[in-house]
Every structure is written in structure tokens, then in C-alpha cells.
Chains A and B, each alone.
Chain A
Amino acid sequence: MTGKLLGVASGVSLAVLAVLALVVVPPDAVQGDAQRLMYVHVPTAWLAYLAFFVTAVASVLWLWPRTRAPHWDLLAGSSAEVGVVFTGLTLALGSLWGRPIWGTWWEWDARLTTTLVLFFLYVGYLALRRTGATADERGKRCAIAALIAFADVPVVHFSVTWWETLHQDATVFNPDLDVRMEGFWMPFTLVFSVLAFTLLYATLVRTRLRLAELDEGREERELQRAIEERRRAEVVPA
């Protein structure tokens, strides 16, 4: 029931966001209509940060002996997969926004490059999750990798202040915490977009976690079956 409610709430809020961003918000004085891409580019980037933060927290909870439970490892993996999807989208949307505004699809600029590195770090993390090992070995190996990969998140975020970049400064979470937008609809729609995508994140992670639990159960049963077959083969001489 909660899952369905979450799904409906995120679907409705994304539909409202589309109307706000494409119809209600006026075109930007400088960038014109291209600026409407901000209402999907910024929340997808936010989702990537959020997803990898959840992966890092779940990894710490898995590593910490007092809180260690298989659930944290599965949550870390589920959240990382959603994060990879949204990091890929962030890069693609940024490229689509950059072409009309910067005149280029791609630039080896600090923000873009560190985001690409972040994408590949977590693709590597997901690949690591597929390597054969016991659940405990995999959990430990992946939790450490997740914490190393997460070190790139602040680098991505602060890249626009640490280096001279083509990418603009953060619109909201800049060092002055100054929302650099005019009027009511632009900041409202941006905040709404972040909330709508956060709901989408919750829906997707919940669904992905369900799949991870089903897969984990199947793997355990297959392992048990293999052990039983092996024992039987040892008891009954050929």
C-alpha cells in the first residue's frame, strides 16, 4: 500500500512539475527557454548526491558491528544503482543544456569531469557487487568501495568554487546560500522539482530493494541446494 501511494504521489508530482516547468515558468531573460532544463538537471544531480549519500550511510551501518544486517548492504546497492541512473541523466541533461548556452556538448571542465568520474566510480561499485563471493565478503568489499567513491561527491559539488569552470556556481547551495533567481515561479518550481524527484527516488529505491531481497533469497536457496547436493554426493559413494 505504501509503495503504491508513493508511486502515485511521485507520478502526480512529476506531472505537476512538467506543467510548472514547461508552461507556467516564464522564459529566462538571458537563456530563454533553454533554462527550463534546469528543472530536470538540478533535481537529477541532487538525486545522485542523495543516492550516494544513502549508499555511504548504509555502508557504514553494515560495517559497524552493532548495526550490521544484510538489509544495509542491499539498501546500499539499490541506492547506488538508482544513483548511477540519475548521474547518467545529469550528464546527458547537462550536455543538452550546454549545447545552446555554451555552444558545446562537452567540455573537460572541473564540474563535468568530476561528475563523469563519479559516474564511473559507481559503475565500478555496481560491477564489484556482481563479483562472486559470500554475502559477508561482498558486503565488506562493497562497503569500503562505496565510502571511497563517496569522497568524490564533495569534490563534484565544490568543483565550481575550487576551480575556474565553465559551469555556473550552484544556484541554491552556493557558499552565500543566496538563491540566484528572480520572481516567484522560478525558485518555487526549482524547490518543487527537488521534492518531486526525492519522492521518485524513494519509490525507485523501495522497488529496487524489493528486487534485491528476492534475488538474495534465491541466491541463498541455490547455495543451500548446492551444499545439500554436495553432501549427498559425499555420503553416497559413486
Chain B
Amino acid sequence: MDDNWGYVAAGYGLTAGVVAAYVVWLRVRIRRAERSLRDEADG
């Protein structure tokens, strides 16, 4: 097996991790913003 597979795995893992973390972070912030909007509307 090529020794470089470690670098390849790190690269693909990093890409997947960063994209997943960014998507989760955006969704959490959107949910929080929508909740505060609902709370304001409820008075």
C-alpha cells in the first residue's frame, strides 16, 4: 500500500469535517434566530 494514503485520508477527512461543522453551525444559528423571532412575535 502507498504510504501517501495517510495524507489522502487526512485531506478528505478534513474536507468532510469542515463542511459538516460549517453546515451544523449555520443550522444551529438559523434555528436560534428563528426561535428568537417566534418569541418576539409571541410577545
Contact = CB atoms under 8 A, between A and B. Distances in A.
Interface of A: 14, 18, 21-22, 27, 31-34, 36-37, 40-41, 44, 85, 88-89, 92-93, 96-97, 99-100, 200, 204, 207-208, 210-211, 214-215, 217-218, 221
Given A33-B4, A204-B22, A214-B37, A92 B14 contact: yes
Contacts of A92: 14
| Interface of B (DSSP majority class) | helix
Contacts of A40: 11-12, 15
Contacts of A100: 3-4, 7
B43 to A, nearest CB: 13
Contacts of A41: 11
Q: Classify chain B: how many residues form its interface, as a range.
A: 20 to 34
A207 B15 contact: no
B34 A214 contact: yes
B31 to A, nearest CB: 10
B11 to A, nearest CB: 5
Nearest to B4: A34
Given A33-B8, A200-B19, A214 B3 contact: no
A85 B14 CA distance: 12
B22 A211 contact: no
Nearest to B30: A211
A36 B5 CA distance: 9
Nearest to B10: A96
A9 B5 CA distance: 28
